[in-house]
Amino acid sequence: MPSACRLCVQGWTRMDKEIVDYALDYARGKRVNYAETRASSQQQDRLLLRDGNLEAYTSAVDSGFCVRIIAGGGIGFASTNKWTREEAREIVDQAYKYAMSAKRREKLVFAEEKGVKTEWAVEQKEKIENVPAEEKISAFVDVHKALACCGVKVVATVAQCSVDLITKYFVNSEGSQISSFVPRIGASVFIAVVEQGKTEQASEQFGFSGGWEAFSVWGVQEKMVHDAKVLKAVITGAKHVKPGEMDLVCGSEVTGIAAHESCGHPMEADRILGREMSQAGRSFIYEGGPYWLGKRIGSEAVTVVDDPTVGHSYGYYMYDDEGVKARRRHLYEKGMINEFLHNRESAAKLGVNSNGSSRSINYDREAIVRMSNTFLLPGELSEEELVEDVSRGVYMKSFTEWNIDDKRFNQRYVGREAYLIEKGELAGPVARPVIETTTLKFWTAVDAVSKNVEFDAATCGKGDPMQGVPVFTGGPCIRLRGVYVK
Amino acid sequence: MKDALSQTEEIVAQGKKLGADEVIAKTTFGKYRQARFSNNQVDITVAWNDYVTDVVFAWKKRVVATQVHNFQDADAGLRNLLKLAKVSKENPAFAGFAQGNFSYAQSKADKKLANLETPSEYIFEAIGAAEKEAGVKVECGGILFTKYEDVYLASSDGPVGVDSRSAVEFSIRAFTEREASGHGVECSSTLKSFKPARAGAKAGRVAKLARNPQMGEEGVYDVIFDPLILGSLLGIWGGMTSAYSVLVQQSVFADKLDKRVAPEIVTLSDNPASYSVADRVFDDEGVPARENVLIDHGILKTYLHNSSTAKVFKTRTTGNAGIIAPNPWNVEMGPGDMSKEELFKEVKNGLYLTNTWYTRFQNSAKGDFSTIPRDGIFGIEEGEIGKSLKDLRVSDNVLTMLGNIAAVSKERQHVHWWIEADPPSLAPYVLIKNVHMTKSK
């Protein structure tokens, strides 16, 4: 846990809890319905390597605090990275003024929560702060070396690694006082392969909450060498699929992105209520529309959850950024629309309690409704059994291009590693198969689910200014019957 | 202001004293304000103040960087940087920072934007304009954002400069029905030229036309791109002219210098002009930022460079640093000689796309991508905007689309929106022939 000292400047944390408490007390002195102050200190290390050469190493501490106030039916928010009482008063005054000037017809309130006093932290087996910079650099140099001698012409490699030691302190006018510490590591590797004068590309993202043990958990070298060989095989030997209706087996990476895009996002209550209407968009789910709680959106085999409590996951937290305890949310339950993701603002509007889905990337951004780790629950079949029962189809293990419309209904996934299936057996690589379909058709077509869940790290974008939050996507392999693949 | 500059210079001097070969420090005092609204009401108003000095330190071709948030912490930060540099690895591509004593244009930042504390009147003015244009009740959402930054830069290689940067940006999306919307943006570096009602009126006008959309059909179309959606494409095309994108195989423009990449009517520049929300007088190495012609009448003329990428390509920096990667500031497409109306008359049977989001590539070296139009999608019949459509996707290729640009309008708009039309641009209406559109099956 972070030091309890009043002002910690220990290389990797800068946090003055007394000023945070002071800001809250100062806010309470005004006619507020609610006030909170949230501070964070992030020791951020960044490595960027191109073709095995370190381009830059950045190391910095970003710390500051914000205040959010509900008063007069509006919400005001202000933040600073100056740790002074004068600055604390200034941002409280500003947030209060903003809240009072909102002049809303519908007064904003938060769903009720009890105050919580607690501390929580993510354990590290191998403390990141004790791992020398040279070791981190070497780990990624070795990835390049492995790619250079894997028998594939890899013409570009870009590797990035981020290490964040995140200390937070949250207090609100309802008595909450929560301290937390999360060490978080992320990485991404991009490769470009050229064979026979043709090019293919792949990128992978890795993420972990915990210590440097993450690097061995990820298996970056093996994964990137595998990708390089797959790209070579696509260039040198892949056929194109003859477009038409067929069965499609999706690997966990494809299942995961579909769960994230066409279940997690449309189930965000702020989106459903229109609060993101101008940027991230709305949802095909809305009150009075064809899709709402209790309506069918997929087959019985489809249960998608969002769960921030998955140990050491990239999207891990025990309490969200409004001080609400985290728990698993069953978004689609056996094919039915079941539970939205809520923060306290959206929950109040729909007459429920928050389910702890409020996240912010830093002290200077408001907490909004976000996913954490979104994945399909497993079934009982093996991956082989899914394939065995397909007479003609495609096995799409991973994807390149993907997107979805802003109501989260029309989506497209283009395969990166993919194989034809003929008479229950894999029959060679297939080049960039495409499924372009609706959320309803995709999830309704699922007839079988494998028993092994795998996760991929991703950065989920939402909010204005953009807040990219770390998440897991994932799931088992799934089999879709009779979908159009081109 | 002088205090901040001299403190920034002191950081550079201290870095040199500690043993750095080169040091650049850039201090930014930023005031940012934003009001977010949806369903015609303000949801939250936000203020964030940021005080930061970015320090980049080169020692024996090792490049390390940090941020200092308090000048008192600078010495400790620099000592940590030196330690880090000593255990770091040499970057063979690092060619040093820009050298020289430059003079800079006077900043034209608008001080009024440093103190704009009651922005909601602009929001309601724009909502009113949307409603008036739509002629029916509309649901509007969006943001109003203001920026005022004082920037102080010092480099051990000579450059020393002071800049102020201001911006006001407004984005509004209006819905007349659940699936009928229009989007307008208004962006300026000064409050004087800022007219949010224009954005509201456009959003309302498109939302009115977009009512009762029918499912679009897959096919190959002649498509008119509105400045808002073209702005998204210009941002991507501009990004691909970064020499860094070329080096890492994420550009369609590799090996195409001095070759034709578009028809004669296409001229693309990067210009951090005074009207732009990205207006600036120097880049992150202290080199004067300037206009660079990227594609001149269809011929690719240059990549965007910092000092290090310039050395790789045996040329000179274009004033677009990024220490590691050069970036475009504000991508301009040169005007054509047709009015918007004349452009539409060119199309017998096609589409008019007003906005897009979620552009993703299969392979950015080849340029295969798709993007999802949103807000108004319209058929064009005999030069007139026709029926409202929905659920279509552009699935095409960057070079193919550039090559198929058939007409460009005289009218241009300064566009910047969220992450979708970024970096900012000056975008006309363009007609692109034979665009592939797909849809869900």
**A155-201 tens-digit pLDDT:** 999 999 999 999 999 999 999 999 999 999 999 999 999 999 999 99
> What would the pLDDT profile of B119-129 be if each residue is shown by its tens digit?
788 999 999 99
Task: Give B366: exposed, middle or buried? Use CB within 10 Å, 0-12, 13-18, 19+.
Answer: middle
pLDDT for the residue numbered B209: 98
Q: Is the torsion defined by CA of B338, B342, B344, B347 positive or negative?
A: negative
Q: Which of B46, B64, B67 sits opposite A62 (nearest CB)?
A: B67
pLDDT for the residue numbered B70: 84
Which of A 209-268 lie inside 8 A of B, CB atoms? Answer: none
A63 touches chain B (CB under 8 A): yes
pLDDT for the residue numbered B2: 52
B215 touches chain A (CB under 8 A): no
Whether residue B195 sits in one domain with residue B160: yes
A360 touches chain B (CB under 8 A): no
Residue of B nearest to A58 (CA): B65
Q: How confident is the model at residue B72 (pLDDT cuts 50, 70, 90)?
A: confident
Mutate to test the interface with B, among A14, A94, A275, A279 (most CBs of B within 10 A): A279
Whether residue B228 sits in one domain with residue B109: no
Q: Do A391 and A382 touch, CB atoms closer than 8 A?
A: no
A106/B41 Cβ within 8 A: yes
Q: Does the structure show a pLDDT above 80 at B174?
A: yes
Query: B201 to chain A, minimum CA–CA distance in Å?
Result: 15
B253 touches chain A (CB under 8 A): no
B385 touches chain A (CB under 8 A): no
A276 touches chain B (CB under 8 A): yes
Whether residue B243 sits in one domain with residue B175: no
Chain mean pLDDT for chain A: 96
Q: Which of A82, A102, A484 sits opposite B42 (nearest CB)?
A: A102
pLDDT for the residue numbered B120: 83
Residue B396's contacts (CB-CB under 8 Å, 6 or more residues apart) are B368, B369, B370, B435, B436
> What would the pLDDT profile of B332-389 be if each residue is shown by its tens digit?
999 999 999 999 999 999 999 999 999 999 999 999 999 999 999 999 999 999 999 9
Mutate to test the interface with A, among B22, B244, B246, B249 (most CBs of A within 10 A): B249
Q: Which of A87, A132, A141 sits opposite B87 (nearest CB)?
A: A132
Cβ-Cβ contacts under 8 Å, A81 against chain B: 49-52, 69
Whether residue B340 sits in one domain with residue B202: no
Query: B18 to chain A, minimum CA–CA distance in Å?
Result: 18
Taking alpha carbons only, the member of A56, A142, A132 closest to residue B90 is A56
**How many distinct structural domains can be found in chain B?**
2
Indicate which CATH number applies to the domain containing B27. 3.30.2290.10
B323 touches chain A (CB under 8 A): yes
Whether residue B430 sits in one domain with residue B290: yes
Query: A125 to chain B, minimum CA–CA distance in Å?
Result: 24
A400 touches chain B (CB under 8 A): yes
Cβ-Cβ contacts under 8 Å, B360 against chain A: 401-403
* Average pLDDT, integer, range B155-183: 97
Can you tell me the ipTM of this complex? Answer: 0.96
Mutate to test the interface with A, among B71, B89, B139, B206 (most CBs of A within 10 A): B89
Work out the angle at residue B231's Cα, subtended by the Cα atoms of residues B362 and B304, and round it to the nearest 5 degrees. 75
Q: Do B119 and B33 touch, CB atoms closer than 8 A?
A: yes
Whether residue B182 sits in one domain with residue B264: no
Q: Which of A55, A190, A406 sits opposite B93 (nearest CB)?
A: A55
Whether residue B244 sits in one domain with residue B199: no
Chain mean pLDDT for chain B: 96
pLDDT for the residue numbered B73: 84
Better-predicted residue by pLDDT, B2 or B71: B71
Work out the angle at residue A253's Cα, subtended by the Cα atoms of residues A377 and A247, and round it to the nearest 5 degrees. 80
Q: How far apart are the first and last CA of chain A?
A: 53
Cβ-Cβ contacts under 8 Å, B183 against chain A: 278
pLDDT for the residue numbered B118: 66
Cβ pairs A/B, distance under 8 A: 238
Q: Which of A60, A99, A155 sits opposite B249 (nearest CB)?
A: A155
B64 touches chain A (CB under 8 A): yes
Which of B 9-48 lie inside 8 A of A, CB atoms? Answer: 34, 36, 38-39, 41-48
A465/B359 Cβ within 8 A: no
* Average pLDDT, integer, range B416-435: 97
Which of B 395-414 lie inside 8 A of A, CB atoms? Answer: 395
A366/B46 Cβ within 8 A: yes
pLDDT for the residue numbered B38: 97
Indicate yes or no: pTM above 0.90: yes
B374 touches chain A (CB under 8 A): yes
* Average pLDDT, integer, range B249-267: 98
Q: Does the structure show a pLDDT above 80 at A1?
A: no
B141/A53 Cβ within 8 A: no
Domain final position from B194, B209, B224: B209
A103/B45 Cβ within 8 A: no
A11/B440 Cβ within 8 A: no
Q: List the domain range (segments joined by +) for residue B89.
A: 2-209
> What would the pLDDT profile of A85-97 be if each residue is shown by its tens digit?
999 999 999 999 9
Residue A82's contacts (CB-CB under 8 Å, 6 or more residues apart) are A64, B49, B51, B69, B70
> What would the pLDDT profile of A370-414 be if each residue is shown by its tens digit?
999 999 999 999 999 999 999 999 999 999 999 999 999 999 999
Domain final position from B159, B186, B209: B209
* Average pLDDT, integer, range A64-83: 96
Name the residue type at position B172.
I
What is the distance between the alpha carbons of residues A462 and A412, in angstroms, rounded to a whole number? 19
Residue B115's contacts (CB-CB under 8 Å, 6 or more residues apart) are none
pLDDT for the residue numbered A13: 64
Whether residue B338 sits in one domain with residue B254: yes
Q: Does the structure show a pLDDT above 50 at A8?
A: no
Cβ-Cβ contacts under 8 Å, A437 against chain B: 440-441
A50/B393 Cβ within 8 A: no
pLDDT for the residue numbered A440: 98
Whether residue B47 sits in one domain with residue B188: yes
Q: Which of A9, A104, A192 sits opposite B249 (nearest CB)?
A: A192
* Alpha carbon A76 to chain centroid, angstroms: 26
* Average pLDDT, integer, range A35-39: 98
pLDDT for the residue numbered B54: 97
Whether residue B204 sits in one domain with residue B221: no
Q: Does the structure show a pLDDT above 70 at B225?
A: yes
pLDDT for the residue numbered A12: 54
Domain final position from B209, B227, B242: B209
Task: Find the length of chain A.
Answer: 486
Whether residue B111 sits in one domain with residue B124: yes
pLDDT for the residue numbered A3: 35
Cβ-Cβ contacts under 8 Å, B175 against chain A: 277
pLDDT for the residue numbered A5: 37
* Average pLDDT, integer, range B48-77: 92
What DSSP character marks residue A71?
Answer: E
Whether residue B239 sits in one domain with residue B159: no
Question: A373-376 and A467-475 as β-strands: parallel, antiparallel, unpaired?
Answer: parallel
State phi, psi for A66 to the nearest 5 degrees. Answer: -130, 165
Domains and CATH numbers, chain A: 7-237 (3.30.2290.10), 244-485 (no CATH)
Helix (H) or strand (E) run with residue B296 in it: strand B292-296
* Average pLDDT, integer, range B390-395: 98
> What would the pLDDT profile of B178-220 be if each residue is shown by its tens digit?
999 999 999 999 999 999 999 999 999 999 999 999 999 999 9
Q: Does the structure show a pLDDT above 90 at B117?
A: no
Tokens of A446: 């699922």
Residue B264's contacts (CB-CB under 8 Å, 6 or more residues apart) are B297, B298
Which of B 113-172 lie inside 8 A of A, CB atoms? Answer: 117-118, 120, 139-143, 171-172
